[in-house]
């Protein structure tokens, strides 16, 4: 019980420490309920309760054993007593003078009635003693157990109350300090935008902590489209930001979260590692045609594995360009940038050729990080590209111009998310 209580004591400062370190970004979910069939935002596993029983319990056991032996002996005695016959009966009735003769059968074979009487009285005494001892032990035991349980319960109640109080305080101070988007809910370190999603949330910048060891960072959340809860990884709007960048730039991310940006491969890795994610790609061309591609599986490995992409489970209207066919399949491809060639093209760097960082095969059926053209263009196909766009197959005819895109957005959300 001691170590269990120690753990309960350690719980409070540790939790508060995490919240304090994160400032307004970190929230604890104290009153939210788990989603139907979904996971709870935070779970706390307590070790099984071990109660140290008092050592008197052992005594009780010993006494019980002794009592059993005593009973057996008493039974034996009683049997042999009955065998003594009338003389024994008489003697029991108080005839002290009556002593069995030296030639008596019973006198020779068993103990004398007087001896037995003495023994019986000793035994009944010790039986009484044992009984009262057991009674008092039982009482003490109940008292002790009750005491322990009450202690533990009171301790836990007080801990929980203090924790809730601390949470509320923190949450209130956060709501007043942070932007209007601050949540009134008590969330523990949201891992991605879906953890913020309560009715009425607006699109905007939120802080997330996919892995506490790797800190907290800001992301753009789409809380309004298709049930909300989307963490945006990439956005193209106007061509104000160049995507012709180095490995290091793609690693850390670049651009402006309120405009065009790449969130960064390290962050994308952390987000997709924290939960099973689905990817949604939104595309719109300059004719106002809007299509989407959704992938049930989306994971980006870490830098050691060159940010290898795992993608699959397509549905949507834009076509499955990420897994176009056997020759052009972006699944399980490493990330390539103009200064780091990890692609499948043997005699050149697809990233340098198409001026972007992407999970190139040899080379591509899709490249959402291509150059932003605000009108159809000619020459090298280094613009934003989605190979299954509705009129891509007749791209060259009759004008020889290439398709350009007005807006592109890549966003992810936990697979088990329910709006």
Ligand X SMILES: *[C@@H]1O[C@H](CO)[C@@H](O)[C@H](O)[C@H]1NC(C)=O
Which residues are near ligand X by CB under 6 A?
158-159, 162, 213-214, 244, 266, 269-270, 287, 289, 302, 338, 355, 371, 376, 382, 391, 394-395, 401, 403
Residue with tokens 């697809």: 350
Residue with tokens 């709006």: 419
Coil, strand or helix: which one is 320? coil
Q: Which is nearer to ligand X, 103 or 287 (CB)?
A: 287
State in angstroms the smallest separation of the CB of 343 from ligand X: 16
Contacts with 351 (C-beta within 8 Å, 6 or more apart), sequence order: 336, 337, 338, 339, 340, 341, 343, 357, 358, 360
Q: Which is nearer to ligand X, 272 or 342 (CB)?
A: 272
Q: Which is nearer to ligand X, 36 or 287 (CB)?
A: 287
State in angstroms the smallest separation of the CB of 401 from ligand X: 5
Coil, strand or helix: which one is 224? coil
Q: Which two tokens stand for residue 150?
A: 């009450």
Q: Which is nearer to ligand X, 256 or 399 (CB)?
A: 399
Query: What 3 state SS string does 354-416 have?
Result: CCCCECCCCCCCEECCCECCCCCECCCCCECEECCCCCHHHCCCCCCCECCEEEEEEEEEECC
CA distance 413 to 419: 11
Q: Which is nearer to ligand X, 26 or 283 (CB)?
A: 283
Evaluated on CA atoms 360, 366, 368, 373, the torsion sign reads positive
Q: Which two tokens stand for residue 249?
A: 């730039």
Burial of 238-274, coded b for 16+ CB within 10 Å and e otherwise, reads eeebebbbebebbbebbbebeebbbbbbbbbbbbbbb
CA distance 124 to 174: 74
Residues 219 and 206 sit within 8 Å (Cβ to Cβ): yes
Q: Which is nearer to ligand X, 88 or 245 (CB)?
A: 245
State in angstroms the smallest separation of the CB of 270 from ligand X: 5
Cα radius of gyration rounded to whole Å, the chain: 40
State in angstroms the smallest separation of the CB of 370 from ligand X: 9
CA distance 145 to 273: 46
Q: Which is nearer to ligand X, 289 or 362 (CB)?
A: 289
State in angstroms the smallest separation of the CB of 384 from ligand X: 12
State in angstroms the smallest separation of the CB of 36 from ligand X: 32
Q: Which is nearer to ligand X, 271 or 410 (CB)?
A: 271
State in angstroms the smallest separation of the CB of 266 from ligand X: 4
Q: Which is nearer to ligand X, 162 or 256 (CB)?
A: 162
CA distance 77 to 100: 17
State in angstroms the smallest separation of the CB of 160 from ligand X: 9
State the DSSP code for 286.
Answer: T
Closest CA to 304 of 341, 271, 266: 266
Q: Which is nearer to ligand X, 171 or 404 (CB)?
A: 404
State in angstroms the smallest separation of the CB of 46 from ligand X: 15
State in angstroms the smallest separation of the CB of 34 from ligand X: 26
**For residue 234, what is the enclosing H or E element?**
strand 230-236
CA distance 162 to 158: 6
């Amino acid at each position: 019980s001691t170590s269990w209580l120690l753990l309960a004591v350690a719980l409070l400062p540790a939790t508060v420490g995490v919240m304090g370190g994160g400032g307004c970004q970190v929230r604890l979910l104290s009153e939210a309920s788990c989603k139907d069939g979904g996971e709870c935002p935070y779970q706390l596993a307590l070790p099984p309760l071990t109660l140290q029983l008092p050592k008197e319990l052992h005594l009780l056991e010993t006494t019980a054993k002794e009592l059993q032996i005593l009973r057996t002996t008493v039974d034996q005695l009683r049997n042999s007593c009955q065998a003594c016959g009338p003389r024994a009966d008489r003697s029991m009735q108080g005839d002290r003078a009556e002593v069995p003769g030296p030639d008596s059968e019973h006198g020779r074979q068993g103990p004398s009635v007087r001896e037995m009487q003495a023994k019986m009285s000793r035994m009944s005494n010790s039986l009484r003693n044992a009984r009262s001892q057991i009674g008092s032990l039982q009482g003490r035991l109940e008292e002790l157990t009750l005491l322990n349980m009450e202690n533990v319960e009171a301790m836990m109640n007080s801990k929980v109350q203090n924790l809730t109080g601390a949470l509320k305080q923190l949450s209130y101070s956060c709501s007043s300090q942070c932007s209007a988007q601050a949540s009134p809910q008590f969330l523990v370190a949201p891992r991605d935008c879906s953890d913020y999603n309560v009715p009425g949330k607006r699109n905007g910048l939120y802080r997330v902590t996919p892995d506490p060891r790797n800190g907290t960072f800001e992301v753009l959340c789409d809380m309004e489209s298709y049930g909300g809860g989307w963490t945006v990884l990439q956005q193209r709007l106007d061509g104000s930001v160049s995507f012709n960048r180095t490995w290091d730039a793609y690693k850390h991310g670049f651009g402006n979260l309120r405009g065009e940006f790449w969130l960064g491969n390290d962050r994308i890795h952390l987000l997709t590692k924290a939960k099973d994610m689905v990817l949604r790609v939104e595309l719109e061309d300059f004719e106002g045609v809007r299509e989407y591609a959704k992938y049930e599986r989306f994971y980006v490995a870490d830098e050691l594995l060159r940010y290898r992409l795992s993608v699959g489970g397509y549905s949507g209207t834009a076509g499955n360009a990420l897994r176009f066919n056997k020759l052009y399949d972006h699944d399980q491809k490493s990330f390539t940038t103009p200064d780091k060639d990890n692609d499948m093209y043997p005699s050149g760097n697809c990233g340098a050729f198409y001026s972007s960082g992407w999970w190139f095969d040899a080379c591509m059926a899709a490249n959402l990080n291509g150059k932003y053209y605000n009108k159809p263009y000619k020459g090298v196909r280094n613009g934003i590209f989605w190979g299954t766009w509705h009129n891509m197959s007749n791209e060259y005819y009759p004008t020889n111009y290439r398709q350009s895109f007005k807006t592109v957005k890549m966003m992810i959300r936990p697979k088990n998310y329910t709006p």
